[in-house]
Structure 1
Amino acid sequence: MATNSTLKSAALLDQMKLHLSTEAGKQLTKKIPLVYQFNIAPKKIGINEEIFTVDLKKGEVTQGPFEGKPDATFSLKDEDFVKVALGKMNPQFAFMRGAMKIKGSLSAAQKFTPDIFPKPSKM
């Protein structure tokens, strides 16, 4: 998915795309067959957002909106997405304090946890 994005989130989503092609990633798609859309803003939610789709049904990560209705759509700032993905911010906490907005199924949204991201490799 090599994007021309300047968002830190895009690099994490690229890693996720590679992760979904592994055996662990394939197990994840069987466990959580949902589609998530992320509207990620550089500084302020709703302004200059870049849209990414994580389709766990197909095991794909793409840039652009999902064609159809995603199970859950998250809107958040780039830095908050990175914190949530790396497990440095609890997704429920981010939602409650307004750092993350969610549309769609809340039960689907609750399955989106840092556990679905590949662990960063030690360099």
Structure 2
Amino acid sequence: MALSTLTETMKQIEKEINSNPEPISGMDTVYQFEIDGETYQMELKDGNAKVLENAEADPNCTLIMSANNFHKFLAGKLNGMTAFMTGKLKIQGDMTKALKLENIVKQYELDI
């Protein structure tokens, strides 16, 4: 699939997660993504995902990476720990939440 805009990608992620909320049931986490200068937050709460552009909530975990690496991460072609160790991914906040996110992403077909 062709690379879509970051906004389209984030909305697609929201739609995919909400169509199958089982992997996020019981979560109450705000992830912040800083991708090539754009900021998005994804709130996973009560089995529902909500994506906000330039949101002001205090995130539990912030992931900073390039759009190219973000797409590879979503497609399962970039291991989060390897990306972190090689500097392709910077994580601020709760590292365990970042690891949990990778496990969640693997349960969806997000080859966006």
1:61-100 matches, within 5 Å, as: 61-67=51-57, 69-100=58-89
Deviation of the 1:7 alpha carbon = 6.5
Unaligned runs of 5+ in 2: none
SS in 2 for 1:88: coil
Greater percentage in strand: 2
Distance 1:82 1:114 in 2: 16
1:39 aligned partner, one-letter code: E
Partner of 1:59 in structure 2? 49
Deviation of the 1:8 alpha carbon = 4.0
SS in 1 for 2:25: helix
Identity %: 25
Q: TM-score, normalised by structure 2?
A: 0.81
Unaligned runs of 5+ in 1: 1-5, 42-48
Distance 2:98 2:71 in 1: 17
Q: TM-score, normalised by structure 1?
A: 0.74
Distance 1:89 1:13 in 2: 18
Distance 1:105 1:88 in 2: 23
Partner of 1:13 in structure 2? 10
Is the contact made by 2:73 and 2:79 (CA closer than 8 Å) also made in structure 1?
A: yes
Is the contact made by 1:85 and 1:114 (CA closer than 8 Å) also made in structure 2?
A: no
Partner of 1:44 in structure 2? none
Q: Between Structure 1 and Structure 2, whose CA radius of gyration is higher? A: 1
1:29-68 matches, within 5 Å, as: 29-41=24-36, 49-57=37-45, 58-67=48-57
Partner of 2:22 in structure 1? 27
Is the contact made by 1:76 and 1:101 (CA closer than 8 Å) also made in structure 2?
A: yes
Q: Comparing 94-103 with 108-117, which one deviates more in the overlay?
A: 108-117
